[in-house]
Chain A
């Protein structure tokens, strides 16, 4: 789960990481109230999970209440690369002497934690990594041992941070690592981490990705999920407990297993179509799950056909077939279904569906043929809207 900047800053604050004083605003009035509280000048920042907010006009400096109101009214409702701004973060504008970078993540190759610090902050770190790899100091941390103050000091030293920033940066790093581990984050990133003219180091931005598998030990996360950057389809799918990702094509996809679902997207693409979504109904997909899945896909205006691709292992194909039949009775589908069912109890499953075959429900023996049929039903190659 990716946090918005304001959520990331609030999360940082829980672990004692210094952030600018500020608050959340959903209206221009609230923005002015938060600005009065934070102290002028303030920065008005659009809360969207997409890069390039500043360039799009989603980040503005304001010297007084009138200016805050003007910017807030302009930014709220703004569309930034398909993300509509519903919320603002208002914070006191910081004086910046220097900008740095700091992050912790898991290095999957080394199977260790990786800390990275750079004296080149405030810019795209991937670009720094590509152009000036030596400008980033890296340190692998064994999760069994954790980050020592000595290791943090070495990172800061190797990154070449200014002398007056070092003590504050070391302190921030130790807290940031605690936030990463105890806060069950997959990524914590501060870009920029700034040095102020009066010698303080703090986080001017916050990028935090939380590991949803750890939600059971973080009751405080419940409020974070209320304002996720999901589209309507994804919101409905989440409510129904489905593993769904919205895409922009015309073929609705239902498959069992993440690998098979991903693979189904690929095959649809190979035969000239495009998927409207990723949807893994998982193991043991029963009538309820199938009906929910079809219902979510049915809300997608772009969908012209539906491809059901099931390989039964533990999942029994006859159960899935029963689910489809039941779902057909419960949901009035906007698009025809092409399906491929294979694996455990496939004969029973196909028999169950035999009576329901029509030009709206077509069974095909292989994944490839079913994908071709679905793409044809969607209007053929170039069916993307």
Chain B
């Protein structure tokens, strides 16, 4: 099994006719993902390499039965595109768009929470999600993932996710699902959502969690682990040496005052029973050990 997306997921790509949407959308289809539709207002009736394009998400859903959406449109248009997908009844929406203003993002999160509680948003500003061998939505390179589990991965960082996937795959350790929640301040899907889903997924037997400085989501995830998680977790937090008050690339990665430090997050995860790695390579090695002990 896998979480959130699998071989039955049918994806509509909002922005398929744009450069980025086309590039990643076709890559996702090449991987084997069921990419059933594209959506671009005003371009309904066209197609992109055989994928039919519709004017609205609702039309795409009616014609193709799409049950997931991949939003790849510019920051100004992304919140409205996401809301359109939710209003059309799409239960799982992946938005990779970077640089959405924080005020728009906070508004979007609360509009979804109030008006479309049945829709889950992954992102914005995330690499997407891959259930190896089944479905890949977003920008992750499919060839570094290995199907079959037993590891679930959840991460705030794109490149560190690829690195984790690669290291596990090279050691012959497969993944059930790898979720990139993104580095923005108000992600639609958080660590706890993913940890809970992995805990409930019978094929996932261990979880790798990759966090970074800023906010308190990792601490809250640690609380969840201590209370509600039975599966082993290997955790890595980037930014131990990051200075206070400087934004380290991601919009959410900033230490303000005493809040958001890597040390506090690592201590909380350690206290919650997670195996805390000091660097990404060690995280991979520790996870391989955990998996070998499971077998």
Contact = CB atoms under 8 A, between A and B. Distances in A.
A181 interface: yes
Given A266-B238, A313-B141, A314-B141, A259 B102 contact: no
B103 A184 contact: yes
A267 B215 CA distance: 22
B279 A263 contact: yes
A213 B139 contact: no
Given A213-B75, A343-B166, A109 B278 contact: no
Interface stretch (B38-46, B56-64, B107-115, B195-203): B107-115
B84 interface: no
Given A113-B106, A184-B103, A258-B248, A265 B162 contact: no
A79 interface: no
Given A126-B258, A143-B103, A260 B141 contact: no
Given A144-B107, A263-B280, A269-B240, A213 B246 contact: no
A379 B75 CA distance: 45
B158 interface: yes
Interface in B75-109: 75-76, 99-104, 106-107, 109
A240 to B, nearest CB: 16
Contact of B103 (A181, A247, A267, A278): A181
B279 A142 contact: no
B15 to A, nearest CB: 16
B215 to A, nearest CB: 4
B213 A262 contact: yes
B95 to A, nearest CB: 14
B205 interface: no
Interface string A353-374: 0000000000000111000000
Contacts of B157: 257-260, 262-263
Contacts of A228: none
Contacts of A265: 239, 241-242
A288 interface: no
Contacts of A186: 102
B257 A126 contact: yes
User: B-side binding surface: helix, strand, loop or mixed?
Assistant: loop
A112 B101 contact: no
B251 A266 contact: no
A262 B253 contact: yes
Contacts of B162: 311, 313, 343
A146 to B, nearest CB: 10
Contacts of B257: 126
6 smallest beta-carbon distances between A and B, as pairs: A259-B157, A258-B249, A257-B159, A214-B101, A260-B159, A259-B160
Interface of A: 106, 108-109, 111-113, 126, 142-144, 181, 184, 186, 211, 213-214, 216-217, 243, 245, 247, 255-263, 265-270, 275, 278, 280, 283, 311, 313-314, 342-344, 366-368
26 contacts: A106-B102, A108-B215, A108-B217, A109-B216, A111-B109, A111-B110, A112-B110, A126-B257, A142-B110, A214-B101, A216-B76, A257-B157, A258-B183, A259-B210, A262-B213, A262-B239, A266-B278, A267-B279, A278-B242, A278-B249, A280-B249, A311-B163, A313-B144, A314-B139, A367-B281, A368-B279
Given A184-B103, A255-B159, A367-B280, 15 more contacts: A111-B106, A111-B110, A144-B110, A213-B102, A257-B159, A258-B159, A259-B157, A259-B249, A263-B157, A263-B239, A266-B238, A266-B278, A275-B241, A278-B249, A313-B127
